[in-house]
């Protein structure tokens, strides 16, 4: 059985988490395959929640599948699709099914997704959702009513170290800390100098930071991300490196870059760990881990399987 994430975060060992994207539909065979492949290679697995506002199989369903297969799930919860009644109810349900970790997100905007005319909810924001979790833990719901049975979650949130302007982002980061976030997954980072500067700041807070590593699969993707995705900066040197990869080898180069960053973060002890997102390419996560020298549960690859 997997260890509880909160314990791993407190152990001081290098934490590795990854992410599973649920299917568009009810066929969970591919997601189950990804879970089986990754559950013993990372400390915990996130399941995205209608990521990019695209309707999919729910995060809660994916988190239960991970739990049933002996993995450690991190339930992603966005505030876009549910009001405070639904969010709290889902938290109660998640706890009753053994889910102990929640990542609180605002959620992408409805118009960027595949149901562009849907009503946006955003009854709560990510800070208020964190606060709601701590309120439920105190035995009360947000309406001040007593709840039966306890709930307890290791609650996390996200932060975007490359946001511009940065200061408002950091102010929100601090609010999330105050509202009870124990760990943070960062938006994808690629510029190590910028990330070092961010950690000089964030390292002062009593929270664990997991650096977001998003697999680059081509120079075109890297260029698109840096030009279009808010809060992501890919240095030109990385784009060039991908562009110079031999034909058909860009993905391999992307894996190498991701592994290099994971290794550097670990060796420098820059932050508590990494969160690896290989959006749609979950099957290459083991390769990234192996190339980074990360073996089972943070042991060196050479130690694993021997």
Sole window of 90-98, 157-165, 234-242, 247-255 interacting with another protein (rule: CB under 8 A): 157-165
**For another protein, which is the closer residue by CB, 125 or 256?**
125
| CA–CA separation, 195 and 183 (whole Å) | 16
Asked whether position 120 contacts another protein by CB under 8 A, the answer is yes
The CA distances from residue 219 to 147, 164, 214, 215, 267, in Å, are: 52, 23, 14, 12, 27
CA atoms within 13 A on the CB side of 22: 26
Return the biggest CA–CA distance within the chain.
Answer: 62
Residue choice 9, 163, 210, 238 for contact with another protein (CB under 8 A) = 163
CA-nearest of 265, 257, 91 to 186 is: 265
Shortest distance, position 289 Cβ to another protein, whole Å: 26
Residue 42's SS3 state is coil
Residue with tokens 């130690």: 303
| CA–CA separation, 64 and 59 (whole Å) | 9
Interface positions, 123-152, toward another protein (CB under 8 A): 123-128, 131-132, 142
**For another protein, which is the closer residue by CB, 41 or 80?**
80
**For another protein, which is the closer residue by CB, 170 or 192?**
170
Q: Do the beta carbons of residue 181 and residue 7 sit within 8 Å? A: no
Could you write out the DSSP letters of every residue in 105-159? Answer: E----GGGSS-TTSPP--SS-HHHHHHHHHHHHTTB-TTS-B-SS----EEEEEE
Shortest distance, position 88 Cβ to another protein, whole Å: 11
Asked whether position 48 contacts another protein by CB under 8 A, the answer is no
Shortest distance, position 163 Cβ to another protein, whole Å: 6
**For another protein, which is the closer residue by CB, 88 or 101?**
88
Shortest distance, position 184 Cβ to another protein, whole Å: 12
Sole window of 66-74, 108-116, 263-271, 287-295 interacting with another protein (rule: CB under 8 A): 108-116
Q: Do the beta carbons of residue 207 and residue 199 sit within 8 Å? A: no
Asked whether position 191 contacts another protein by CB under 8 A, the answer is no
Residue choice 89, 230, 244, 303 for contact with another protein (CB under 8 A) = 230
**For another protein, which is the closer residue by CB, 67 or 172?**
172
CA atoms within 13 A on the CB side of 50: 22
Per-residue string for binding with another protein, 81-100, x by CB under 8 A? ---x----------------
Element (H, E) at 208: strand 208-214
Residue choice 178, 200, 240, 303 for contact with another protein (CB under 8 A) = 178
Binding site for another protein (CB under 8 A): 80, 84, 105-109, 111-112, 120, 122-128, 131-132, 142, 158, 160, 163-165, 167-169, 171-172, 174-175, 178-179, 187, 230-231
């Amino acid at each position: 059985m997997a260890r509880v994430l909160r314990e791993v975060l407190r152990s001081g060992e290098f934490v590795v988490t990854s992410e599973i994207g649920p299917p568009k539909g009810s066929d969970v065979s591919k997601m189950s395959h990804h879970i089986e492949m990754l559950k013993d290679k990372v400390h915990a697995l996130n399941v995205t929640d209608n990521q990019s506002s695209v309707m999919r199989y729910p995060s809660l369903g994916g988190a239960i599948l991970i739990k049933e297969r002996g993995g450690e799930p991190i339930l992603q919860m966005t505030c876009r699709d549910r009001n405070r009644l639904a969010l709290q109810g889902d938290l109660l349900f998640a706890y009753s099914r053994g889910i102990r970790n929640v990542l609180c997100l605002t959620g992408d905007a409805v118009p960027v997704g595949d149901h562009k005319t849907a009503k946006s909810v955003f009854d709560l924001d990510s800070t208020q959702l964190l606060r709601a979790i701590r309120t439920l833990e105190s035995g009360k719901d947000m309406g001040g009513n007593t709840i039966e049975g306890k709930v307890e979650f290791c609650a996390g949130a996200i932060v975007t170290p490359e946001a511009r302007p940065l200061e408002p982002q950091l102010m929100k980061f601090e609010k999330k800390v105050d509202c009870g976030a124990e760990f943070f997954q960062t938006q994808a980072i690629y510029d190590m100098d910028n990330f070092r500067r961010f950690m000089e700041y964030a390292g002062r807070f009593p929270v664990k930071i997991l650096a977001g590593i998003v697999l680059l699969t081509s120079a075109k993707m890297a260029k698109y991300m840096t030009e279009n995705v808010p809060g992501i900066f890919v240095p030109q040197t990385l784009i060039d490196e991908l562009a110079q990869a031999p034909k058909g080898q860009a993905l391999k180069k992307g894996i190498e870059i991701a592994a290099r960053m994971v290794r550097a973060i670990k060796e420098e002890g820059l932050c508590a760990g990494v969160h690896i997102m290989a959006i749609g390419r979950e099957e290459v996560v083991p390769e990234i881990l192996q190339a980074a020298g990360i073996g089972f549960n943070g042991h060196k690859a050479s130690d694993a399987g021997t």
